[in-house]
Amino acid sequence: MAKESKENLARRFGKVYAILEKTYPDAKCRLEHGNPFEMLIATILSAQCTDERVNIVCKSLFRKYRCPADFAASPPGQLENDIRSTGFFNNKAKNIRGACSKIIGEFGGKVPDTMEQLLTLPGVARKTANVVLGNAFGKNEGIVVDTHVLRLAGRFGFSRHADPVKIEQDLMALCPRKNWALLSHLLIFHGRAYCTARKPDCPECPASKLCPSAGKA
């Protein structure tokens, strides 16, 4: 396939964005949270787990553990048991305890609000940091690239890369900064509604006329 010019790509991106924004006016983070700390814990738990399951687990979790100190001081096995149903619970519990200890020891008990500081917390990579910054602090520092965003960026031809960091850079170059957080929500909603991994519904997809993968994905 011939390489699309930068101008065409930018124009096409803008049109796709407008269609998605119109199609999903309620697109937002589906992880329920009341503050940055809850957002951080929910995001760590969401790895390899559905948002629905994380929301169920967090409902009782945040009644039992109200602050970083509660998590950091939890007896061995207890936190693991409380988050068991989210999967990979040993690793997640270790990361949550480690992150909470660091938040207490180095950040005065508050979740830091910069990419640089967030990345020092155990269990926090760029994707988690972007979720927390974009949704709990309202800061557009980057774009969350999860499995849906990764798949759709490829199908829409917004990126030719497979590496999430490079995909993020390509999307950041195409999308105005003020829309970075919303872009990933829109792509995630579209990935669930039409452009699923196994069976994309191209005939019904509202963006099919602008998608190079229509009928081929």
Residues with catalytic function: 127, 146
Q: What is the smallest separation between the CB atom of 162 and ligand SF4, expressed in angstroms? A: 17
- What the block records as the tokens of 130 is 């972007």
Q: What is the smallest separation between the CB atom of 21 and ligand SF4, expressed in angstroms? A: 15
> Taking Cα atoms as reference points, which of 27, 93, 86 lies closest to residue 56?
86
Question: Residues 134, 142, 164, 200: which binds ligand SF4 (CB under 6 A)?
Answer: 200
Q: Does 31 bind ligand SF4 (CB under 6 A)?
A: no
Pairs from 49-55 (Cβ < 8 Å, separation ≥ 24): 49/86, 49/87, 53/85, 53/86, 54/86, 55/30, 55/31
- Kindly give the residue spans of alpha helices, DSSP state H, lying in the chain: 6-23, 36-45, 51-64, 68-72, 78-82, 89-106, 115-118, 126-136, 147-155, 164-174, 180-193
Q: How many CB atoms lie within 10 A of CB 81?
A: 11
Closer to ligand SF4 by CB, 115 or 193: give it.
193
Q: Does 214 bind ligand SF4 (CB under 6 A)?
A: yes
| Cα(195)–Cα(186) distance, integer angstroms | 12
For tokens 């829109």, what's the residue?
Answer: 186
Question: Residues 9, 49, 69, 202: which binds ligand SF4 (CB under 6 A)?
Answer: 202
Question: Residues 94, 194, 197, 199: which binds ligand SF4 (CB under 6 A)?
Answer: 194
Site track 142-161 with ligand SF4 (rule: CB under 6 A), x = hit: -------------xx-----
| Cα(58)–Cα(38) distance, integer angstroms | 8
Mark the segment that binds ligand SF4 (CB under 6 A) among 37-45, 106-114, 125-133, 198-206.
198-206
Q: What is the smallest separation between the CB atom of 1 and ligand SF4, expressed in angstroms? A: 14
Q: What is the smallest separation between the CB atom of 30 and ligand SF4, expressed in angstroms? A: 20
> Taking Cα atoms as reference points, which of 154, 131, 146 lies closest to residue 189?
146
Closer to ligand SF4 by CB, 49 or 193: give it.
193
Q: What is the smallest separation between the CB atom of 33 and ligand SF4, expressed in angstroms? A: 29
Please report, as ranges, the residues that interact with ligand SF4 according to CB under 6 A: 155-156, 194-195, 200-202, 205, 207-208, 211, 213-214, 217
